[in-house]
Amino acid sequence: MDTSLSPFKIFSGTKSRYMAEEICKELGVELGKMKIEHFADGEFEVCFEESVRGCEVYLVQSTFPNCDNLMELLLMIDAAKRASAKSVVAVMPYFGWARQDRKDKPRVSIAAKLVADMLTAAGVDRVITMDLHADQIQGFFNVPLDHLYASSVFIPYIQSLKLEDMVIATPDVGGAKRANSYAKYLDLPLVLCHKQRAKANVVAKMTVIGDVKDKNVILVDDMVDTAGTITKAANLMIENGAKSVRALCSHAIMSDPATERVEESALSEMIFTNSIPYSKGCSKCTIISVARLFADTIRRVHSNQSISSQYLIK
């Protein structure tokens, strides 16, 4: 690295420490010392235990449930700014609250915009994240945002499977753009699933648009919450004559009963990144680390280099 640049330090919130340690290992640096003290009423205090004056500070924290993860990140940003850090970068492998990205019915909040505003108000200078639920969330920020793509780790994995007669599929029409990018890059056919929801997290009806007979299907999605949609799509693909069904999902939210649904489904394999810690022990789940992707991005941001060259697809 360019030694003329300001020094940088990496710190981590409580639940993303595993990711921060992997990133630090890739970069060959020590994880910064920080203490988070909890009080009896649930309130907590963030304290850096080393100087960050004049440093570029990278704060690694995904904002998956519960709300403490988001609050930790906000307090970390505030503490770093008050400690005279030169710049503060939020490294958010998973950007939570992103499903609320528009006003799709009367009298609802746009939580993704609110979270962006809170991060800015806390004093963040830059955000690095991966596979946002909706691309337009990038426009909610008034600071630079680097949007990374899990395709850079998923595509080599797909290619390593050496499957014949593959098709790329999406479990809902909303993910068509993402799935189409994979299909174009790999020069494979695209299949769509059209779903109708009875209510949030409940799929009433689903139909397949396209031919999956005697095909090895790769379902592509950005997150799995209760796994209702993805498992229903997988079962439907098998009913329509597919040889096998695998799923690529960037973020393993996996709220109960997701693990049981995946185990009991027609899925041969569910492939996640480690943007969110998942330890419920599903025999069909494969976890791929994105620590190197984030480490390389931090290195490039620190050295004022372009990061677009590392994208396989968008």
Question: Residue 4: is its pLDDT beyond 60?
Answer: no
pLDDT in the model for residue 175: 85
Burial of 41 (0-12, 13-18, 19+ CB in 10 A): exposed
> Per the structure block, which two tokens stand in for 94?
């998973």
Mean pLDDT of the chain: 92
Which of the residue ranges 32-41, 144-153, 178-187, 198-207 would you say has the lowest mean pLDDT? 198-207
DSSP 251-288: EE---TTHHHHHHHSS-SEEEEESSS---S--TTEEEE
Query: Catalytic site residues?
Result: 195
Quick one: average pLDDT of 81-91? 97
DSSP 89-150: EEEESS-TTTT--S--STT---HHHHHHHHHHHHT--EEEEE--SSGGGGGG-SS-EEEE-T
Long-range contacts of 299-304 (CB under 8 A, 24+ apart): 299/1, 299/27, 301/89, 301/126, 301/128, 301/146, 302/1, 302/5, 302/8, 302/56, 303/1, 303/2, 303/5, 304/5
Write out pLDDT tens, residues 175-218: 888 999 999 999 999 999 877 665 665 656 788 889 999 999 99
pLDDT in the model for residue 172: 84
pLDDT in the model for residue 262: 96
pLDDT in the model for residue 202: 60
Coil, strand, or helix at residue 1?
Answer: coil
Q: Alpha carbon of 47 to those of 6, 76, 161: distances in Å?
A: 22, 8, 46
- Residue 145: pLDDT band (50, 70, 90) is very high
- Residue 63: pLDDT band (50, 70, 90) is very high
**Which residues are within 8 A (CB) of 144 and not within 5 positions of it... i.e. 6 or more apart?**
125, 126, 127
Please give the backbone phi and psi of residue 159, each rounded to the nearest 5 degrees, phi first: -65, -35
Give the 3-state secondary structure percentages of the chain, helix then strand then coil, rounded to 5: 35, 25, 40
- Residue 1: pLDDT band (50, 70, 90) is very low
Among the ranges 142-146, 171-175, 207-211, which has the highest mean pLDDT value? 142-146
Q: How many CB atoms lie within 10 A of CB 15?
A: 17
pLDDT greater at residue 104 or residue 277: 277
> Per the structure block, which two tokens stand in for 75?
């307090």
- Residue 3: pLDDT band (50, 70, 90) is very low
Q: At what angle do helices 151-161 and 176-186 cross, to 10 degrees?
A: 50
| Largest CA-CA distance found in the chain, in angstroms, rounded | 61
Angstrom distance (rounded) from CA 243 to CA 247: 14
Question: Residue 105: is its pLDDT beyond 80?
Answer: yes
